[in-house]
């Protein structure tokens, strides 16, 4: 039996995501105004109106993603992700031309900016999204003035707020152990999904059993009080959805307070809603909420509380990246740079060249205890560059931007890309300082005791795969090369092919997952010429030519037992037929399934 799906009306969808042009009357009044105070008030109104429109559309998108999940409209889920990720920039870019044309002096009019900022702060005081509106204001100013990038937090301004806690967004179910299926059934039924469950009672029983098994190491006792806290929000992405929270056991005489995270993964199959998996381990939640995947659309608008909850459930990942994984990229951008500066202030460490192979296209640097790696793209590649032609710095940056904007399929690090960033020169080790100024002439300049970066890429820190394989225990090394194959498959599912299939372009995370992190050599898989092992070789063939049979040689897996483990786990990757089949599926517009949590956590085989 097939469950009924209700497609969204295209006209309603277009209306919900339409961005109107800036208010022409307000712009005209701004341009014609002569009194500086009036101009300041109008400028603040113009910018706030643009932000309000952006924010309203961005908040409608999660509800549309929920409707798309309920209707099983997978193409729409992909479209909504693309719209949301570009929405902020679109709204900023709409304002820049009329402001530059109508008020060219605005770029240098510092007093007008200060007055207008005061007007804006007064207008947004008391609003939940005030910090976001203030960040929008500074984004516009940077776009107009080409000013340096610096983290701006409204919370440090005149209307400071206490740090967010997760409590206001949690619904709590008080129960006793063991966790009964009826309790889980009520939680699932209250998710508010407009779709039919295939077997709600059966799923509740399986999920309750999975939770009980996860609680076992905590020494539970029958009859012991328990609290199940679930975020008052749905999380939607691609073909899936999930409920997020935790299970808490009270402290007792012989045991302290104990808890486990909880993620209930849902699918909407042809025959109805199903619980696909239950995750109860923090590292496994990081698989699902990884910044290497498309962002979740969270239906609850309280982004600070959501980010705090995610950080409490996944403390190995920095707080700044928690904002990004629920679609608040600019707030994540602010939080990440704030964290990097705080790390330096706290540790007094200097930025030095990152461990591992020195890149031919990028220069990577970090602080020893930092959670992040920073990168610039060289003006020209080093002499060790593998390819005949270098597309140039801007082309490489476009590839990094492309990876940021697509579904990274759980196997490519997201990139936070800053423009015109100023960092004090004392943050840099002398050797790195010299290299940056020498190799990045078009990118890095020295200005009054600070380095100014035309662009700066920030990623989560990984251990380069060859370094990891050289020091890991045999079982961990084997798991890493198997994960490498999964990474390559997921990249292919996202229409990404790394023509430099070199193990040095991959890294291992703190939860032992493998990711691609260098993107100067990525190409659309659908544009690659895949050749069988026995096809004639031609030195002069145009384009990117790939022979899967040669893959292991390029990956630089030196240990014979690890090469064998890779072949045994992923024999299809060495066959041209696999790659050609993936190309055909992508050209047909199919949305591939990507496994974003361990298969062992699925409730059914």
Is 426 marked within a binding site? no
Give 317's DSSP letter.
S
Point out which residues pair with 171 in neighbouring strands.
Answer: 230
* 178: alpha, beta or left? (left if phi > 0; alpha if psi -120 to 50): beta
Distance of CA 41 to the CA centre of its chain: 36
SS3 of 57, please? helix
Place of tokens 């009194």: 35
Residue 94 parent element (H or E): helix 74-102
- Could you give the angle at the alpha carbon of 510 between the alpha carbons of 322 and 418, nearest 5°? 45
| 355 among annotated binding-site residues | yes
Q: Which of 276, 414, 500, 518 is catalytic?
A: 414
Whether residue 394 contacts residue 417, with contact meaning beta carbons closer than 8 Å, is answered with no
414 tagged catalytic: yes
| CA pair distance 22, 42, nearest whole angstrom | 13
Residues 6+ apart with CB under 8 A from 19: 53, 54, 57, 87, 90, 91, 94
Q: What DSSP character marks residue 198?
A: S
The tokens of 272 are what?
Answer: 């109805």
Cα-based angle 377, 514, 238 (whole degrees, multiple of 5)? 90
CB proximity list for 67: less than 8 A, separation 6 or greater: 8, 194
| Residue 360 annotated as part of some ligand binding site | yes
- Strand blocks (E) in 340-495: 352-353, 362-366, 372-377, 416-424, 444-447, 450-460, 463-464
Annotated binding residue at 248? no
> Measuring CA to CA, which residue among 43, 30, 52 is closest to residue 120?
43
* DSSP structure class, residue 526: G
CB 171 within 8 A of CB 230: yes
Residue 287 in marked binding region: no
List Cβ neighbours of 437 (8 Å cut-off, separation of 6 or more): 444, 445, 446, 451
CB burial of 439-461 (b: ≥16 within 10 Å; e: otherwise) equals bbeebbeeeeebbbbbbbbbbbb
357 in a labelled binding site: yes
Question: How far is Cα 573 from Cα 557, in angstroms, rounded to an integer?
Answer: 15
d(CA 347, CA 73): 49
Return the sign of the alpha-carbon dihedral for residues 557, 563, 565, 568: positive
Residues flagged as binding site for ATP? 354-360, 375
- Residues marked active site are found at 414
């Amino acid at each position: 039996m097939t469950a009924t799906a209700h497609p969204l009306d295209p006209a309603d969808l277009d209306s919900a995501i339409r961005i109107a042009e800036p208010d022409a009357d307000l712009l005209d009044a701004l341009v014609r105004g002569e009194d500086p105070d009036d101009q300041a008030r109008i400028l603040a109104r113009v910018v706030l109106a643009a932000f309000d429109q952006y924010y309203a559309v961005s908040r409608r998108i999660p509800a549309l993603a929920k409707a798309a999940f309920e209707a099983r409209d997978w193409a729409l889920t992909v479209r909504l992700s693309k719209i949301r990720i570009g929405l902020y920039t679109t709204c900023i870019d709409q304002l820049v031309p009329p402001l530059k044309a109508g008020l060219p002096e605005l770029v240098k009019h510092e007093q007008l900016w200060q007055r207008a900022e005061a007007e804006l702060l007064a207008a947004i005081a008391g609003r939940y999204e005030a910090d976001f509106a203030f960040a929008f204001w500074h984004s516009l100013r940077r776009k107009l003035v080409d000013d340096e990038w610096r983290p701006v937090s409204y919370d440090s301004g005149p209307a400071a707020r206490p740090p967010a806690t997760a409590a206001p967004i949690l619904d709590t179910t008080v129960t006793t152990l063991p966790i009964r299926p009826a309790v889980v059934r009520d939680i699932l039924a209250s998710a508010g999904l407009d779709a039919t469950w295939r077997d709600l009672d059966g799923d509740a029983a399986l999920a309750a059993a999975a939770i009980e098994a996860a609680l076992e190491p905590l020494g539970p006792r029958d009859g012991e009080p328990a609290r199940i806290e679930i975020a008052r929000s749905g999380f939607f992405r691609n073909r899936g959805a999930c409920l997020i929270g935790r299970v808490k056991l009270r402290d007792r005489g012989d045991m302290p307070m104990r808890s486990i995270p909880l993620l209930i993964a849902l699918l909407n199959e042809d025959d109805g809603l199903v619980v696909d998996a239950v995750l109860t381990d923090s590292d496994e939640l990081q698989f699902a909420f990884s910044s290497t995947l498309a962002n979740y659309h969270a239906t609850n608008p309280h982004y600070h509380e959501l980010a705090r909850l995610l950080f409490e459930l996944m403390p190995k990942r920095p707080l700044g990246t928690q904002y990004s994984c629920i679609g608040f990229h600019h707030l994540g951008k602010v939080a990440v740079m704030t964290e990097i500066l705080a790390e330096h202030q706290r540790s007094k460490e200097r930025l030095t060249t990152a461990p591992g192979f020195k890149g031919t296209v990028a220069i990577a640097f970090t602080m020893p205890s930092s959670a992040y790696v920073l990168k610039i793209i060289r003006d020209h590649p080093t002499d060790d560059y593998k390819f005949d032609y270098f597309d140039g710095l801007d082309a490489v940056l476009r590839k990094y931007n492309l990876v940021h904007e697509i579904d990274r399929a759980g196997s490519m690090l997201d990139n936070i890309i800053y423009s015109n960033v100023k960092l004090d020169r004392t943050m840099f080790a002398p050797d790195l300082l010299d290299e940056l100024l020498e190799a990045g002439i078009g990118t890095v300049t020295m200005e009054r005791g600070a380095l100014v970066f035309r662009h700066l890429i920030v990623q989560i820190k990984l251990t380069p795969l060859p370094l990891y394989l050289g020091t890991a225990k045999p079982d961990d090394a084997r798991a890493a090369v198997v994960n490498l194959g999964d990474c390559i498959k997921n990249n292919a599912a996202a229409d990404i092919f790394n023509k430099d299939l070199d193990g040095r372009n991959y890294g291992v995370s703190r939860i032992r997952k493998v990711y691609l992190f260098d993107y100067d050599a990525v190409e659309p898989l659908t544009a690659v010429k895949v050749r069988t092992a026995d096809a004639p070789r031609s030195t002069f063939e145009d384009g990117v030519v790939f022979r899967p049979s040669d893959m292991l040689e390029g990956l630089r897996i030196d240990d014979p037992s690890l090469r064998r483990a890779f072949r045994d786990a992923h024999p299809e990757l060495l066959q041209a037929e696999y790659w050609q089949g993936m190309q055909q599926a992508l050209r047909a517009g199919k949305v591939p399934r990507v496994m974003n949590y361990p298969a062992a956590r699925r409730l059914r085989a």
